[in-house]
Amino acid sequence: MRRNIVAGNWKMNCDISQTYQLLDALKEQDITDDVSVIVAPPFTNLQSANQALLDTEILVAAQNMHQEATGAYTGEVSAAMLKSVGVEVVILGHSERRAIFGETNALLAAKVNTALENEMTIIFCFGEELSDRKAGNHFDVVRQQLQEGIFHIEKENWNNVILAYEPVWAIGTGETATPDQAQEMHHFIRNTLSEVFDTDVSQDVSILYGGSVKPGNAKEIFGKEDVDGGLIGGAALNATDFTAIINAFE
Ligand code: PGA
């Protein structure tokens, strides 16, 4: 069901003591009830984070996952392993996974299948590079990422999917898509979903915006009709800033 969501992608930041510190600071904040809040610490801290947040509504997500169930995949972590430490949400397709670790749409489609088979919720990320936007190809690129990465799923499975539009040129750069640019793309995504699936799917899915969301710009971005929240990188590492972003929905 469509809802307001703010998710913090901690990336490769925070050891275990910093994780406890950040979560303790977050638990002291006054957070609005209208928003589902998710945090994604590194693998090593997922179990501890989950336990630290048991008395809250905040969910813990993994930042990645392997598509196979078990086996000789040195350095990888499976869906069942995540679930065994209480993690029910996984971020897939982040632009850093695509660009630095070579994750393709086809690989992501396999990861999507595995996550759904394991009844996990997916935060599926996609977004164009600066060169795509300059060339005016951003809608085509986004459509293709969705087409090849996630449009093969069954209609019912959309209940377990959150989309996150993250223009690569806005991630960690201080450069933000304008609220109108975000709205334009989110509207395009919803239209594409109703064309490929139906209006139930397009109206029920939550579509987050990501890329340099800060306390100072969150309200304007989240105020747009088709923007249901944000996937936050840098600003999620500071409890006060992250809370201000969440409370931008108030
Ligand atoms: P940023 O990162 O907020 O630091 O730009 C967003 C993301 O990578 O999800």
Q: Give the pLDDT confidence of 219-231 residue by residue, as tens digits.
A: 999 999 999 999 9
- Residues in contact with ligand 1 by the CB-under-6-Å rule are 9, 166, 171-172, 210-213, 231-235
* 3-state DSSP assignment of residue 13: coil
* The pLDDT of residue 70 is above 90: yes
Instruction: Give the pLDDT of residue 1.
Output: 84
Q: Quickly count: other Cβ atoms within 10 Å of residue 78's Cβ.
A: 18
Report whether pLDDT(172) > 90: no
Q: Name beta bridge partners: 165.
A: 126, 209
pLDDT > 90 in the chain, percent: 96
Residue type, 247: N
Q: How many CB atoms lie within 10 A of CB 9?
A: 26
**DSSP-derived 3-state class of residue 16:** helix
pLDDT tens for each residue of 16-68: 999 999 999 999 999 998 999 999 999 999 999 999 999 999 999 999 999 99
- The first and second tokens of residue 107, run together, are 């690989």
> Which tens digits make up the pLDDT trace of 199-210?
999 999 999 999
CA distance 105 to 141: 11
Phi, psi (rounded to 5 degrees) for 162:
-120, 130
Phi-psi region of 124 (alpha: psi -120 to 50; beta: other; left: phi over 0): beta
- Find out whether 42 and 77 touch, Cβ atoms under 8 Å: no
Q: Does residue 182 have a pLDDT over 90?
A: yes
Catalytic residue among 94, 96, 128, 138: 94
**Is 166 annotated in the active site?**
yes
Per-residue pLDDT tens for 108-162? 999 999 999 999 999 999 999 999 999 999 999 999 999 999 999 999 999 999 9
Pocket residue to mutate for ligand 1, from 91, 95, 125, 166, most atoms within 8 A of Cβ: 166
On the question of pLDDT at 250 being above 90, the answer is no
Which among 96, 103, 128, 166 is annotated as catalytic? 166
**pLDDT for 164:** 98
Q: What is the pLDDT of residue 234?
A: 96
C-beta of residue 8 within 8 angstroms of C-beta of residue 38:
yes
Q: What is the dihedral of CA 77, 39, 95, 172, to 10 degrees?
A: -140
